[in-house]
Amino acid sequence: MKVAIVHDYIKEYGGAERVLEELLRTYPKADVYTALYYPSSLGPHRARFQKYRIKESFFRYIPFAYKLISPLRVLSPLAFYLMDLSGYDVVIVSQTGAYFPNLVKTKSGNEPTIMNHEARKTNTKQNGAFHICYTHTPPRYLYGYMTAREWKKNPIVRVVAELVNHFLRIVDYHASLRVDQFIANSNEVASRIEKFYRREAKVIYPPVAVNPKSETRNSNAKEYYLAGGRLARAKGMDVILEAFIQSGKPLKIFGKGFAGYAEELIAKIKNNESRIEFVGEITDEEKLELMRGAKAYIFASFDEDFGITPVEAMSVGTPVVAYASGGVKETVVDEKTGVFYSPNTEEELNKAINKLERLKIEKSDCVAQAKKFSDQRFREEVKKLVVSLV
């Protein structure tokens, strides 16, 4: 099959980009279409996509476009609308919830269509490509979920943004009509797709690199707690920081800051005698080594879409303390591979950490749970679904 893969933009390396990478391992000859590709900002991950054929939109001609990711969402519908991919057999869109990649043209006609399975069986290649959308989430900023930027603080910005978002919600819904088959990365996201797009979605959990021979450390040798990933407001890092400032327990935080949020977090600990350390953006190997050495992985994300890092922690036998919200409720088993808490406050988080310290969590249970989300399982499920549809 002639396959194209579409991704919002490639400027950071997080869970969505890990899925993109696994899709490219599944279909290594696929062409990649994206609004903007800026490998210099990928840090230790800059070489991951270099061997693939990546085709950018007209955003590449806009000066300093990589610094204008958020404002450019207004132009992103046009960026994808101008991409004609109707010559492919299959187009797999990786929708991160930032832009509107489902507007790519996949049919030879101009009108958006929802093609049912029986109709697609008799459809010839000349009529276009089968359009599959792997959805990490519908755009959070359009549907009331917490986002990385606090754009509602400024009243003028809030009024203008609400007007723009009203238009973009219409665009987003019409983009959804072009999709032949939705895939959701969790039951949480499947419910959002049904709510906002009135469509059903097949759930295929994201890939997590699970090494069955991963070594785990004895819990007695572990000296710190760990948090990290993409350092953005919706990830609840401020809650984690305040909790550990209060408790005085050792904490390491890894990851790249977003929209100046990391600097705000670092400023919070400058005048506090805390045992909190920021280690910055790190490689996968360094991350897993930190996870092996941690007493627990702390996860405080609001309305998490799925959450790959908690599964990675469990894959090396490390339990998870998580705010009971979103997709993480589908991966962590309360009091078996971790502890849930609610509401998302520093007081409740500290209570959950103290509870975990009294429990006996088996490393083998954590590893067994993580294996349910392996990268091999992801590739097999995607291939099986594509074959069944096309």
Domain assignment present for 279 = yes
Q: Are residues 202 and 224 in the same domain?
A: no
Q: What local confidence, expressed as pLDDT, does residue 117 receive?
A: 47
Q: What local confidence, expressed as pLDDT, does residue 124 receive?
A: 43
Domain assignment present for 234 = yes
Q: What local confidence, expressed as pLDDT, does residue 213 receive?
A: 57
Q: Are residues 232 and 308 in the same domain?
A: yes
Q: What local confidence, expressed as pLDDT, does residue 233 receive?
A: 81
Q: Provide mean pLDDT across the span 310-325.
A: 96
CATH number at residue 103: 3.40.50
Q: Provide mean pLDDT across the span 156-178.
A: 88
Kindly indicate the confidence band of residue 261, based on its pLDDT and cuts at 50, 70 and 90. low
Kindly indicate the confidence band of residue 294, based on its pLDDT and cuts at 50, 70 and 90. very high
Kindly indicate the confidence band of residue 211, based on its pLDDT and cuts at 50, 70 and 90. low
Q: Are residues 365 and 384 in the same domain?
A: no
CATH number at residue 253: 3.40.50.2000
Domain assignment present for 353 = yes
Domain assignment present for 213 = no
Give pLDDT tens digits for 105-147: 998 765 555 555 455 444 444 578 999 999 999 999 999 887 7
Q: Are residues 262 and 351 in the same domain?
A: yes
- Report the 3 state secondary structure along the chain: CCEEEEECCECCCCHHHHHHHHHHHHCCCCEEEECCECHHHHHHHCCCCCCCEEEECHHHHCCCHHHCCCHHHHCHHHHHHCCECCCCCEEEEEECCCCCHHHCECECCCCCCCCCHHHHHCCCHHHECEEEEEECCCCHHHCCCCCCCCCCCCHHHHHHHHHHHHHHHHHHHHHHCCCCEEEECCHHHHHHHHHHHCCCEEECCCCECCCCCCCCCCHHHCCEEEEECCECHHHCHHHHHHHHHHHCCCEEEECCECCCHHHHHHHHHHCCCCCEEEEECCCHHHHHHHHHCEEEEEECCCCECCCHHHHHHHHCCCCEEEECCEHHHHCCCECCCEEEECCCCHHHHHHHHHHHHHCCCCHHHHHHHHHCCEHHHHHHHHHHHHHHHC
Q: Are residues 381 and 366 in the same domain?
A: no
Q: Provide mean pLDDT across the span 9-23.
A: 92
Q: Provide mean pLDDT across the span 213-221.
A: 61
Q: What local confidence, expressed as pLDDT, does residue 45 receive?
A: 87
Domain that holds residue 192: 3-207+375-389
In this predicted structure, which of 151-155, 200-204, 306-310 has the lowest mean pLDDT? 151-155
Q: Are residues 129 and 268 in the same domain?
A: no
Q: Are residues 182 and 102 in the same domain?
A: yes
Q: Are residues 77 and 121 in the same domain?
A: yes
Q: What local confidence, expressed as pLDDT, does residue 17 receive?
A: 93
Q: Is the pLDDT of residue 217 over 90?
A: no
In this predicted structure, which of 101-105, 193-197, 273-277 has the lowest mean pLDDT? 273-277
Q: What local confidence, expressed as pLDDT, does residue 268 receive?
A: 74
Domain assignment present for 214 = no
Domain assignment present for 324 = yes
Q: Are residues 123 and 10 in the same domain?
A: yes
Higher per-residue pLDDT: 146 or 379: 379
In this predicted structure, which of 9-13, 75-79, 158-162, 356-360 has the lowest mean pLDDT? 158-162
In this predicted structure, which of 124-138, 151-165, 313-327, 347-361 has the lowest mean pLDDT? 151-165
Q: Provide mean pLDDT across the span 176-193.
A: 97
Higher per-residue pLDDT: 112 or 360: 360
Domain assignment present for 272 = yes
Q: Are residues 365 and 379 in the same domain?
A: no
Higher per-residue pLDDT: 87 or 159: 87
In this predicted structure, which of 12-21, 79-88, 265-274 has the lowest mean pLDDT? 265-274
Domain assignment present for 298 = yes
Q: What local confidence, expressed as pLDDT, does residue 122 receive?
A: 47
Question: Within a 10 A sphere around the Cβ of 233, how many other Cβ atoms?
Answer: 17
Q: Are residues 186 and 231 in the same domain?
A: no
Q: What local confidence, expressed as pLDDT, does residue 30 receive?
A: 97
Q: Are residues 103 and 251 in the same domain?
A: no
Total of domains in the chain: 2
